[in-house]
Amino acid sequence: MSGRIVVTIAGLALLAALAVLPFVFPSYRIAFLVTTFMYIALASSWNIVSGYTGYISFGHAAFFGLGAYTAALLILRLDVHWVLAVLAGGLLAAVVAAPLGFILLRLRGPYFTISMLGLSVALQIVALSWTSLTRGGSGLNLPPTLNLTQSYFAMGLTTVTVVLVSYRILTSRYGLRLIAIREDEAAAESMGIDTTLHKVSAFVISAFFPGVLGGIYAWYLAYIDPTSVFRPILSVGMVIMAMFGGAGTVIGPIIGGLVLSAIAEAFWARLPELHQGAFGLLIVVVVLFMPGGVVNLLRGRRLVPRGWRL
Do the domain assignments include residue 225?
A: yes
Q: 56 lies in a domain?
A: yes
Mean pLDDT of 89-106: 95
Compare 5 and 53 and report the one with higher pLDDT: 53
What DSSP letter does each residue of 54-95 carry, written as one string?
----S-THHHHHHHHHHHHHHHHHH---HHHHHHHHHHHHHH
Residue 246 to residue 251: CA distance in whole angstroms: 8
Does the pLDDT at position 54 exceed 70? Answer: yes
CA distance 163 to 198: 19
Q: Mean per-residue pLDDT for 289-300?
A: 75
State the alpha helices, DSSP H only, in the chain.
Answer: 3-20, 27-46, 52-53, 61-78, 82-104, 110-129, 131-134, 148-170, 173-183, 185-190, 195-221, 226-229, 232-245, 251-270, 275-289, 293-300
Domain range spanning residue 203? 30-238
pLDDT at 93: 97
Query: Do 89 and 66 touch, CB atoms closer than 8 A?
Result: yes
Structurally, how many domains does the chain consist of?
A: 1
pTM of the model: 0.91
Is 11 domain-assigned?
Answer: no
Where b means 16+ CB within 10 Å and e means fewer, 88-104 reads bbbebbbebbeebbeeb
Burial class (CB in 10 A: 0-12, 13-18, 19+), 145: middle
Distance CA 226, CA 224 (A): 7
Report how far residue 293's alpha carbon sits from residue 245's, in angstroms, rounded to the nearest whole number.
5
- Indicate whether 297 belongs to any domain: no
Q: Assess whether pLDDT exceeds 80 at residue 292.
A: no
Does residue 2 fall inside a structural domain? Answer: no
30 within 8 A of 148, measured Cβ to Cβ? yes
16 or 256: whose pLDDT is higher? 256
What does the pLDDT read at residue 20? Answer: 85
Closest of 33, 29, 18, 20 to residue 258, by C-alpha: 33
The answer as to whether 179 is a domain residue is yes
pLDDT at residue 59 is higher than 80: yes
Amino acid identity of 129? S
Better-scored residue on pLDDT, 12 or 100: 100
Residue type present at position 210: P
Q: What are phi and psi of 141, to 5 degrees?
A: -100, 120
The answer, yes or no, to whether residue 106 has pLDDT greater than 70, is: yes
Average of pLDDT values for 272-297?
A: 71
Per cent of the chain over pLDDT 90 is 61
278 domain residue, yes or no: no
Q: Is residue 296 part of a domain?
A: no
**Percent share of the chain, pLDDT over 70:** 89
DSSP assignment of 218-262: HHHHSEE-HHHHS-HHHHHHHHHHHHHH-TTSSHHHHHHHHHHHH
Inter-residue contact 29 to 148 (CB < 8 Å): no
